[in-house]
Structure 1
Amino acid sequence: MRSVVYPGTFDPVTNGHTDLIARAAKLCDRVVVAVAQDTGKNTTFTAEERVALVREVCGDIDNVEVVAFSGLLVEFARRADVHVIMRGLRAVSDFEYEFQLAGMNRRMAPDIETLFLTPAEQYAYISSSLVTQIARLGGDVSPFVAAAVHTALRERFG
């Protein structure tokens, strides 16, 4: 497979995200990690900070590019010359929402496919929102994120 785009907020980037990125990098010649700017959520980190953290965490993977994007994902994928969107599925509960997204993206861009990957078992329960909540409440998130992300969360929440 030539290229794939892996979109998300990555707020913060977790070990589950990095597992999927590393696995996609083995399958594809090029992995574009697309950090969403217009998330509709109150994010812990700015888009620029999230891009920097993902770049730091994935810096040793040669065929990974990390960029911020805004607007429709399918339009970004076309601009990036990517025809496959990769999404992660942690649990059955993710499937319905992801299935809807894939269907809508296919309707808007029939030339772009969606590929689903599941994380390794030890990462299946990790979510960015849970990690953020634990960090905000002073808990140790080091088992769930890379050292750089752990440091950034400690600095953010004290």
Structure 2
Amino acid sequence: MQRICLFPGTFDPITLGHTDVIDRSLDLFDEIVIGIGVNSSKMPMFPLEQRMQWIRDIYSHTPKVKVISYEGLTINCCREINARFILRGIRTIGDFEYEKAIADVNRMMESNIETIFLSCTPQYSTLASSLVRDVVRYGGDASQLLPQRVLQDIKKA
């Protein structure tokens, strides 16, 4: 049975913290599906198709990484793509408490789907998409925060 993993998030935008978690998980799974959750109550900074294209471009050399968008419960997305694992990056103990609560509820709904937590590399432990959006919004230097592919498009805009 293939080890398919869903890495859910908004990826608005995808950061070096996200790519660090993805890159470090490549050996753990046969397929990693980056699932961009669409939440109608949130207004993202970057359009969905742009976020998906960045991920496709960044991982074009890595066939085991795919990207999709989904609405609704993450656990339902896992069922649709036959993922037995959910990947979550943990920056702080606060992240762990929040993510563990979600993992517990997911386990109640689907006991055969495991949540895997990867702690962030120290240099990315304070990197949150909301902070990155502020740096970008106000014209700051995001070169230590974002993949080169994302920086290229932001500099063009």
- TM-score, length basis structure 2: 0.92
**Unaligned runs of at least 5 residues, structure 1:** none
Q: How does 1:66-145 map to 2 (within 5 A)?
A: 66-145=67-146
Correspondences of 1:26-37 after superposition (within 5 Å):
26-37=27-38
Task: Give, in whole Å, the separation in 1 of the partners of 2:40 and 2:92.
Answer: 22
| Corresponding residue for residue 38 of structure 1 | 39
RMSD: 1.5
- Asked whether 1:150 is paired with 2:151, we answer yes
Stretches of structure 2 that go unaligned for 5 or more consecutive residues are none
Q: Which residue of 1 aligns with 2:58?
A: 57
Taking a change above 3 Å as real, the CA distance of residues 39 and 140 of structure 1, as seen in their structure-2 partners, is farther
| Stretches of 4+ aligned residues off by more than 6 angstroms | none
Whether the 8 Å contact between 1:53 and 1:149 is mirrored in structure 2 is yes
Q: What letter matches 1:137 in structure 2?
A: Y
Give me the whole-angstrom Cα distance separating, in 2, the residues matched to 1:92 and 1:73: 22
Distance 1:51 1:39 in 2: 17
Pick closer, same or farther for the CA change 1:118–1:39 going to 2, 3 Å. Answer: farther
TM-score by length of 1: 0.92
Q: CA deviation digits over 1:123-152, x for unaligned, max 9?
A: 111111101001111101011111221133
